[in-house]
Homo-oligomer: A and B are copies of this chain.
Amino acid sequence: MAKSGKSRFAILGMLALLKKSTGYDLKKHMEASTHYFWKESFGSIYPILEDLEKQQLIVKVDEPSRNDRQRNTYKLTSKGREALEHWLVQTPEPLHNRNELLLKLFFGGLSPVEVSTEHLENYQKELEVKLSTYQKIKRELSKDNSLESSYYLITLDHGIRLTKASREWCANAIKTLKAIDIEGE
């Protein structure tokens, strides 16, 4: 299980950025950075790590400092680096994401209009929270001037722009529903 797929490369890439890491730390770092568009669970991380090692894309590094405590720290091999680079240049597949909110709205006519309105209002609240999180990260990240943080900022900007657009869509959709409601009476 957990053999091919993109998770391998997410892990390789993270390992490349971090230079070396444990499975546990990998997840922590993803939660702090790629969380918005990519996450991994331990149930995928550990088997993949094992597999990557078997294929010699990564190797364990000795941590002489904290001796015994059971922890496996890995780093990329040159073979792993190659595999990562090979994947990086491939055109990403267009994503076909399912969106449950949109599905429910599409079926909106089958419920009272208030149902749809409430879904939208809830979503709006979520968006505000997201947006302020992103903006907080952006502020902190903007201090840093590394190459890495430039790329990070690009992905963050995606989140910010799309969240704002979603917010406007929400507001507009709620207006439209209000009009339906008045008509319907």
Contacts from A to B (Cβ < 8 Å):
6, 9-10, 13, 16-17, 33-34, 36-39, 84-85, 88-89, 91-111, 115-116, 119, 122-123, 126, 147-148, 150-155, 157-158, 161-162, 164-166, 168-169, 172-173, 176-177, 180, 184
**Residue from B85, B122, B166 in contact with A91 in the complex, judged by beta carbons closer than 8 Å:** B122
Contact present for B154 and A173 (CB under 8 Å): yes
Indicate whether A157 sits within 8 Å of B180 (C-beta atoms), given known contacts A37-B103, A106-B152, A151-B116: no
Q: Is the CB of B151 within 8 A of A109?
A: yes
Q: How far is the CA of A36 from the CA of B95 in the complex (A)?
A: 10
Shortest Cβ gap from A38 to chain B (Å): 5
Assembly CA distance A134 to B97 (angstroms): 17
**Are B176 and A154 closer than 8 Å at their CB atoms?**
yes
Q: Is there an interface contact between B180 and A147, defined as CB atoms closer than 8 Å? A: yes
Specify the chain B residue showing the minimal Cβ separation from A90: B104
> What are the residues of chain B within 8 A of A100 when measuring CB–CB?
6, 92-93, 95
- Known A89-B115, A104-B88, A110-B84: A96·B13 in contact at CB below 8 Å: no
A102 to B88, CA, bound (A): 11
Docked CA distance A150–B165 (Å): 20
CB A166 to nearest CB in B, in angstroms, measures 7
Look across to chain B and name the residue whose beta carbon is closest to the beta carbon of A165.
Answer: B165
Q: Does the CB pair A108–B154 fall under 8 Å?
A: yes
7 contacts between A and B (CB under 8 A): A34-B106, A37-B97, A37-B102, A39-B96, A91-B122, A95-B97, A161-B165
A147's contact among B9, B95, B109, B152, by CB below 8 Å, is which? B109
